[in-house]
């Protein structure tokens, strides 16, 4: 048995895992530790680097111990994290202040620097992107900016803590709105125009690159190869067969990215999908997002202790997402609403309406990606915690009117991470294929009318009561 260890770092928790590289679907151990975010004022979301590093070290050590395997069984270790989050370092590689997380929106006043750059960066302007946030730090914290010699995304920073080597993996550079997505490297002219010194940026590497040797304090042998991971959504897609050309992967969680693998960067005349590098050096990812309908379903399930009902309430609609992913739908979101409530509406019927909204939002993102790709998806695969019980995948097979592959396991990052490391060190492995569980296509026509009403209601709410920044 040859094992791989890894970290999967989200906004609220880190999951450390150990997986068998010879059988990438076999998880030996998994440990989750909470991570605390800091909200110093509205629209600011930060992290304490020392606290997050300590949690990551502890989780990895515990996962390695729980695997019950001797140190010699390990091939290497890798990392995947949320996108857009970053830290600033000084010349001694010390972190300067708190890190800034993906959902932080301090860059709102500077997002316009990305206007018209979609063909270059693959991204339309959004406050959450790293480039606008860096410009905000420069304007608001000149002393910290002057002391900074390197900006590292969270993935890159954890790899640096493990190895002492500073690199940036390509998908993070893309996700920050800072890369020439076709060239898979920094967008030099854009950064020069924005006054971001190139010396601040680390060399770009591809996912699966051996960055260096592991240092002490991580619960694994020193000199173990540390391999660059990639953006969390890309890694999740890779773990469930999402590297197939034209495969659309729905990563259903609190938010729901909808991502297609392509052999070249997508050029969309409407400039809607975000385009980044994928987990393989010959592929790109075109991405929509269904928003946060999973968050609302989870909220209602916890609040009302109710699961979806078998029968729908006539006319009941939940507006908790948008029907397509674009600058305008992200900038002005419809206020979360339940329409058509009656005195006899049950909690289970509300849960059903929330589930419908999740499926409708995914349908909109899938169809918009297909429009941008110019062809139907070769397959649709659904994974993630919000899809674990099968209710969303079954409904999507009906709402989309096509077969849906359901990844019933939730450890896609571990599966893909094991493959990345094994390939990097020359061990035998294979890229995961599509999940064998296939939910057959249902009657799409039965959902067309409520879907159309849902789209109309979403548009009307956006127009009548836009959400302020």
Residue 412 CB neighbour total at 10 angstroms: 28
- Domain membership of residue 308 (yes or no) is yes
287 plus 215 within the same structural domain: no
191 plus 294 within the same structural domain: no
207 plus 300 within the same structural domain: no
pLDDT in tens, the chain (469 residues): 689 999 999 888 999 999 988 876 688 999 999 999 999 999 999 999 999 999 999 999 999 999 988 877 899 999 999 999 999 999 999 999 999 999 899 999 999 999 999 999 999 999 999 999 999 999 999 999 999 999 999 999 999 999 999 999 999 999 999 999 999 999 999 999 999 999 999 999 999 999 999 999 999 998 999 999 999 899 999 999 999 988 999 999 888 999 999 999 999 999 999 999 999 999 999 999 998 999 999 999 999 988 888 788 889 999 999 899 999 999 888 889 999 999 999 999 999 999 999 999 999 999 999 999 999 999 999 998 888 889 999 999 999 999 999 997 767 788 899 999 999 998 877 888 898 999 999 999 999 999 999 999 999 998 886 555 4
Q: How many domains does the chain have?
A: 2
CATH number, domain of 155, equals 3.30.420.40
Say what the pLDDT of residue 307 is. Answer: 85
Domain stops at, among 190, 213, 232:
232
Cα dist from 447 to 390, 391, 401, 451, whole Å? 18, 16, 9, 6
- Domain membership of residue 415 (yes or no) is no
139 plus 170 within the same structural domain: yes
199 plus 278 within the same structural domain: no
- Domain membership of residue 201 (yes or no) is yes
- Domain membership of residue 425 (yes or no) is no
116 plus 133 within the same structural domain: yes
- Give the separation between CA 15 and CA 166, rounded to whole angstroms: 23
Say what the pLDDT of residue 347 is. Answer: 93
Say what the pLDDT of residue 466 is. Answer: 54
**pLDDT tens digits for 207-250?**
999 999 999 999 999 899 999 999 989 999 999 999 998 899 99
Bridge partners, residue 204, by sequence:
168
Cα dist from 229 to 9, 21, 74, 290, 295, whole Å? 11, 15, 17, 25, 26
Say what the pLDDT of residue 172 is. Answer: 96
Q: Which domain holds residue 318?
A: 241-406+437-464
């Amino acid at each position: 048995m040859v094992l791989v260890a890894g970290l999967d770092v989200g906004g609220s928790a880190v999951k450390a895992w150990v997986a068998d590289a010879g059988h990438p679907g076999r998880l030996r151990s998994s440990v989750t530790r909470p991570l605390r975010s800091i909200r110093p004022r509205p629209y600011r979301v930060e992290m304490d680097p020392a606290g997050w590093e300590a949690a990551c070290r502890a989780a990895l050590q515990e996962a390695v111990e729980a695997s019950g395997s001797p140190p010699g069984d390990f091939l290497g270790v890798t990392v995947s994290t949320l996108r857009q989050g970053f830290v600033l370092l000084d010349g001694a590689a010390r972190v300067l202040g708190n890190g800034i997380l993906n959902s932080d929106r301090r860059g709102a006043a500077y997002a316009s620097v990305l206007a018209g750059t979609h063909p270059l960066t693959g991204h339309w302007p959004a406050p959450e992107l790293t480039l606008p946030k860096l410009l905000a730090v420069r304007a608001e914290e000149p002393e910290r900016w002057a002391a900074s010699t390197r900006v590292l995304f969270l993935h890159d920073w954890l790899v640096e803590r493990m190895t002492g080597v500073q690199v940036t993996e390509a998908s993070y550079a893309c996700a920050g709105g800072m890369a020439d997505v076709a060239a898979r490297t920094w967008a030099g002219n854009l950064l020069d125009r924005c006054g971001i010194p190139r010396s601040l940026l680390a060399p770009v590497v591809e996912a699966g690159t051996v960055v260096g040797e592991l240092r002490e304090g991580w619960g694994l042998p020193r000199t173990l190869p540390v391999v660059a991971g990639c953006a969390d959504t890309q890694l999740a897609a890779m773990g469930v067969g999402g590297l197939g050309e034209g495969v659309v992967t729905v990563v259903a969680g609190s938010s729901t990215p909808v991502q297609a693998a392509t052999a070249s960067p997508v050029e969309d005349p409407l400039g809607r999908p975000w385009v980044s590098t994928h987990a393989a050096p010959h592929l790109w990812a075109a991405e929509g997002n269904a928003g946060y309908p999973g968050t609302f379903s989870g909220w209602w399930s916890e609040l009302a202790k109710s699961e979806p009902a078998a029968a729908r309430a006539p006319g009941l609609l939940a507006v908790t997402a948008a029907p397509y992913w674009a600058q305008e739908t992200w900038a002005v979101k419809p206020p979360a609403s339940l329409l058509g409530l009656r005195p006899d509406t049950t909690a289970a019927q509300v849960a059903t309406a929330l589930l419908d909204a999740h499926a409708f939002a995914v349908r909109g993102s899938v169809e918009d990606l297909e429009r941008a790709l110019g062809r139907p998806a070769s397959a649709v695969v659904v994974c993630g915690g919000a899809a674990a019980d099968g209710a969303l995948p079954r409904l999507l097979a009906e709402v989309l009117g096509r077969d849906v592959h359901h990844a019933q396991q939730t450890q896609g990052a571990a599966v893909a991470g094991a493959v990345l490391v094994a390939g990097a060190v020359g061990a035998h492995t294979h890229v995961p294929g599509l999940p064998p569980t296939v939910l057959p296509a249902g009657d799409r026509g039965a959902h067309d009318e409520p879907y159309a009403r849902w789209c109309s209601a979403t548009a009307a709410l956006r127009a009548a009561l836009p959400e302020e920044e």
